[in-house]
Structure 1
Amino acid sequence: MLFLTFAKLAAFLALATLSVSTPKTCPKKTSVLVVYDLDLVQRPQDLVSTFRLDPERFNIGFLEYSNKDVFMVHDAKPLYEHVVFLPSLKKAPAAKGITNKHKILEYFNLGGNVLAVGSAEHSVPESVVLFLNEAGIYPAPKGYSLSSFFDKDLPLKNSNLVSKRILSLFDLPAYTGSAALVSNNELVLPILRAPSLSFTAPSDSKALTEDNTWTYGEQGFVAVAFQALNSARAAWVGSLDLATPELLSWVFQERKVLKLQFTKHHKTSEPAEENISLYRIKDEASYSVGVSELQNNVWVPYTPASKDDVLQLSFKMLDPYVRLNLTHVGAVASEKDGSVDTNVFAVNFTIPDHHGMFTFELDYMRECLSFLSDKRVVAVRHLANDEYKRSWDITNAWVYIISASAVVVAWLLFVANFLFLSDDVKKIEEKEKKE
C-alpha cells in the first residue's frame, strides 16, 4: 500500500520527539501602556479598575500625552505588548514617540496590539485617527456623538452584535459615545452595529444636514476591530463602557489565538527522514501540521468551528499544482512526555510529474482568529537515467516488442530455410530434368 494510513501517522507523531518545542502555557504577564490626558483623567490608577485589568496578568504603565521622552519601539523591538490610547483634548500631543502615525504603524507591524477609546465629547489624537484610517476605520470627529430622535438612551443589545467571536454577549442599557464608518477591507471586523434609528452628528447641532452627519442608522459602528496579516490586533470603541474584559482579552491576544506547533513533510516510504529538501517526481509524500489554540492561558488542541472549515495544503511552483484538504488525525503532545495540547492534521499525495522548485504552503485565515502561515521550499527532480521503467515493464510497449521479436524469428526461419533446404530443392529439380 503506497499511502500510510492516518492511524499509523497518528501513532508515529505521538511517539516521535518533535523538532519544535513550545511551552504549554503562555507567559503569565504582558506589559500594557495606557496613554491618557491629564486634563481628562485625574487619577490614572482608577483606570485599572475601569478596564478591569488584573495586575497579576499585566504589567500596567501609565503615560501622559505631554511626555516627550517615551517611545514604543527600541532597536526594532516593541517595548510594550499592548498600548491603549484614551481621548485627548489636543489633536497633536507632545508625546511624538507614542502618538506619531508612523511610530504607531511601526509598532503595529512589529506585532504590538492597539486599543483606541473614543467618547461623545473627545477623540483620540489625530495621529491615532490616521492610523485607524489606514486600517479602514473612520471614527467620527471630535464633538460628534451618537443620538436618536426615538430613543435617547440608545440601548445596545445582542441584536447589535456583528461578530460574536469577539463579543459573545452584550447588554448596555444606555450608550453615550461616538460611532465610526468602516471600509470593505476584509481584515476589518465590525463588532457592534449602531441602532437602526440612530445618527452621528455634532452634539450641539440643531438640525441634521448632509454635511454635519457622520453616520446614518446601521451604517455606523460603535466598536470595530482590525487584525493585520501578522496577527497584530487593533480595536476602536466609541466609549469606555465598550472596553469590556471580553473585548480586551481578544485585543490583547488572550484568546482566539492559534499556534502552529510543528510542520512535517516526508516521503511515505521513508517516514524517519523528515523535512527533506529533495523529492522526485511522482514520489508519494506525507504532510502534517500540529495546531493549538490558546484558552484560559493554556494551549489546547484546536478544533475547527465546522466540517467545512478545513486547513488546506498548496503544493505549488507559481500556481498550485496540488491543493488538498488536511484531515484531522488526532490529538498529540507537542513535547515529549507532555500533556496533549495539539491536534494533528495531515494528508498524503503524489508529487506532480514536473520538476523544479516547489513550496509546501499552509495559509489558514479565519475571521477573528490569528492567522497561520507556513512555507517550506523543496526541490523536485526528474527521473535519473537508471530510474526509468524498462520497456518490458510498460504494457503499451508489449505490442512493439512482440512485433520486433516476430520479425527476428521470421528472419531466422528464412535464413535457416535458405541455408539448409536450398540444396535438396536443387537436387529435386535436376532429377526432374533428367527424367
Structure 2
Amino acid sequence: MRSLISFVLLLLAAVASAISVTGERLLVVLDDVAEKAAYSKFFGDLDGRGYKITYETPKSESLSLFKLGEREYDHIVFLPTKAKGLGPSLTPAILLQFINAEGNILVALSSKNPAPTSIVSTLLELDVHLPPDRSGLVVDHFNYDVSSAAEKHDVVLLPAPGALRSDVKDFFSPDAPNGELLAFPSGLGQTLGSGALLTPILRAPNTAYSYDPKEQAESVDDLFASGKQLSLVTSVQARNSARLTVVGSADMLSDKWFDAKVKKSGDKSSVATLNREFAKRVSAWTFHEIGVLRVNWIEHHLNEEGQSNQSNPKIYRIKNDVTYSISLSEYAWDSWTAFTVPANDVLQLEFSMLSPFHRLPLKPVLSSPDSTTFSASFKLPDQHGIFNFKINHKRPFYTNVEEKNTVSVRHFAHDEWPRSWVISGAWPWITGIGATVVGWLAFVAIWLYSKPVAGGETKKTR
C-alpha cells in the first residue's frame, strides 16, 4: 500500500512539474470548437505537457479573461477566425491588460482569413505591423514546395532559424540530420518596429516577398515587404517578462504539415518537415517552459581580514574591499537547471550612484545541478553617498533579471584614519616639528644654565 501511494505521489509530482512556471490554464480561441481536430497533434502535445486546455469561440457569452481582478487563464492561443472582431471580452485593452498581468499569448495568423481588428490593434500597440489589407501572402519563387505549391509558390521552405547572434542562446532550432526543412504555408508576414522588446524568431528568405493575393496583375508593383524585412514568426517580451508570439502561418501548426514530406525546388529528394518540433519549442518559449531565469539569493559582504563578515550590511566605508554574489537558475522544460551564460555574453554587476562607478563581469564560482553562483570582488570608490548593487540582465529570449540592493557608503571615522607616522609623506613635517622642539629645548637649556659673563668695575666721574 505504501509503495502504491509513493508511486501515485511521484506520478503527480512528475505531472505537476511538466508545465509552465507561470501556470497550466490555457485558453484556445477559434471560430468553431470542431476546428481543433485539424490541430489535434499540436494540442495533444500541449495536453501531454500538462496544460489544462479550454476551447472557446469569440462569441461565447461565458468567455472572460478576468474574474474579480484576477486572471482566469495563464495563456491564450488565437487561431484564425472569419470574424472581423473578437467581441467585448477580447478587446485590445483587455488583451494588453492580460499581458500586463503577466499572461502569455500565442497568435496564429493566416493569409486565408483577414486578421481580426482586435489582434491588429494589439499588435500595433506592440509595434508589430501587418499588411494594410490584413491578408497579405508570403511567396518565394525559389524556395517553395514543388508538390503542393507548384503554381502559387506560397509554401515557403526554409531551414531552422539558428541563433539570432553569437551571444544569444538558440532555443528554436530542432536537429535536422537529414536536411529537414520548415514549411511555412499560406503565411502572413509582419514587419517590426525598432522597439527593444521585439525579436524575430524566423525571418523570410532573401527571395521571399509579401503581396496582396487579390491583385491578379502579373507584376506586383506595391510590395508590403520583402526578404529579411519580413518576420514570419515574431516574439515580444514585455518588461514584466510576459510573452506574446506571432506565428504568421496557422497551417504551420496543423496536423497536415506536422507529418508532411516536402521537396524544395531544385532538390532531388523529399524530406520531412521540422514543424512539429519547431511548434513545440515556440509554444514552450511563449508559455514559459524555456528561457526562464530565477534569482535564488543575493549576498554582498566585506572581504577584509579582521572585519566582521556580516551578510548584506546596510552601510560600508569608502575604499572597503567587498564581494558580491548572486545565484541564478534556468527553467528548462520540466526542471530548474544551472544557468550558463552564452559564450560571447557576460553577466554584469553595476555599482552605481546616479551613474555607474563600477561595471564588472560576474564570473561563475560555484555550480550545482540546479543553480550557478556568480561573483565579483572590488574596492569601493573614494566617494561617500547612497549606492546600488545593480543587476540589469536583459537578453533576447530570456526573462529579465533586474535586482537592486541599496547601501550607504560613509567616510572614515575619526579613529579609522592612518596615524601620521605611518604616512611617508608626513615624515618631513614630523622631522621639522622634532627639530623645532629639540632646538627650542636646547635654547632654553642654554639660556637657563649658562652663567653670565663677569664684567669689570668702572668708576663714575662727574
| Interval of TM-score (by shorter of Structure 1 and Structure 2) | 0.7 to 0.9
State whether structure 2 residue 126 is matched by structure 1 residue 91: no
Which amino acid counterpart does residue 193 of structure 1 have in structure 2? R
User: Where in structure 2 are the equivalents of 1:273-288 lying within 5 Å?
Assistant: 273-288=310-325
Secondary structure at 1:156 match in 2: strand
Compared CA separation, residues 201 and 259, structure 1 to 2 (3 A): same
Task: Name the % identity.
Answer: 31
**Structure 2 partner of 1:402:** 431
Secondary structure at 2:34 match in 1: coil
TM-score of the two chains, using structure 1 as the length reference: 0.83
**Structure 2 partner of 1:318:** 354
Compared CA separation, residues 175 and 430, structure 1 to 2 (3 A): farther
**Structure 2 partner of 1:12:** none
**Which has the larger displacement, 389-398 or 104-113?**
389-398
**Structure 2 partner of 1:58:** 51
Secondary structure at 1:53 match in 2: helix
**Structure 1 partner of 2:367:** 331
User: Where in structure 2 are the equivalents of 1:18-417 lying within 5 Å?
Assistant: 27-29=17-19, 30-38=24-32, 42-44=34-36, 47-51=39-43, 52-55=45-48, 57-94=50-87, 96-97=88-89, 99-140=90-131, 141-149=133-141, 151=144, 152=153, 154-158=155-159, 163=164, 165-169=170-174, 171-173=181-183, 175-207=185-217, 208-211=219-222, 213-243=223-253, 244-269=279-304, 272-306=309-343, 308-332=344-368, 340-417=369-446
* Kept after mapping to 1: 8 A contact 2:105/2:286: yes
Measure how far apart 1:200 and its partner are. Answer: 1.6
Distance 2:14 2:293 in 1: 13
* Kept after mapping to 2: 8 A contact 1:357/1:377: yes
Give per-residue Cα distances to partners, 1:389-424, cap 9 Å, x unaligned: 22223221121111111111011111111221243x
Measure how far apart 1:359 and its partner are. Answer: 0.7
**Structure 2 partner of 1:335:** none
Distance 1:376 1:86 in 2: 44
Compared CA separation, residues 343 and 159, structure 1 to 2 (3 A): closer
* Kept after mapping to 1: 8 A contact 2:82/2:113: yes
RMSD: 2.6
Distance 1:420 1:125 in 2: 113
Give per-residue Cα distances to partners, 1:36-62, cap 9 Å, x unaligned: 112xx5343654423432245101111
Distance 1:24 1:260 in 2: 23
Compared CA separation, residues 367 and 356, structure 1 to 2 (3 A): same
Measure how far apart 1:347 and its partner are. Answer: 0.9
**Which has the larger displacement, 110-119 or 275-284?**
275-284
TM-score of the two chains, using structure 2 as the length reference: 0.78
* Kept after mapping to 1: 8 A contact 2:208/2:227: yes
Distance 2:303 2:185 in 1: 60
Secondary structure at 1:353 match in 2: coil
The answer for unaligned runs of 5 or more in structure 2 is 1-12, 145-152, 175-179, 254-278, 458-462
Secondary structure at 2:372 match in 1: strand
**Which has the larger displacement, 312-321 or 213-222?**
213-222
Secondary structure at 2:199 match in 1: strand
Measure how far apart 1:271 and its partner are. Answer: 6.7
**Structure 1 partner of 2:450:** 421
Distance 1:406 1:314 in 2: 51
Distance 1:100 1:174 in 2: 28
Secondary structure at 1:408 match in 2: helix
Give per-residue Cα distances to partners, 1:335-373, cap 9 Å, x unaligned: xxxxx4111110111122222111110111222222211
Measure how far apart 1:189 and its partner are. Answer: 1.3
Measure how far apart 1:262 and its partner are. Answer: 1.0
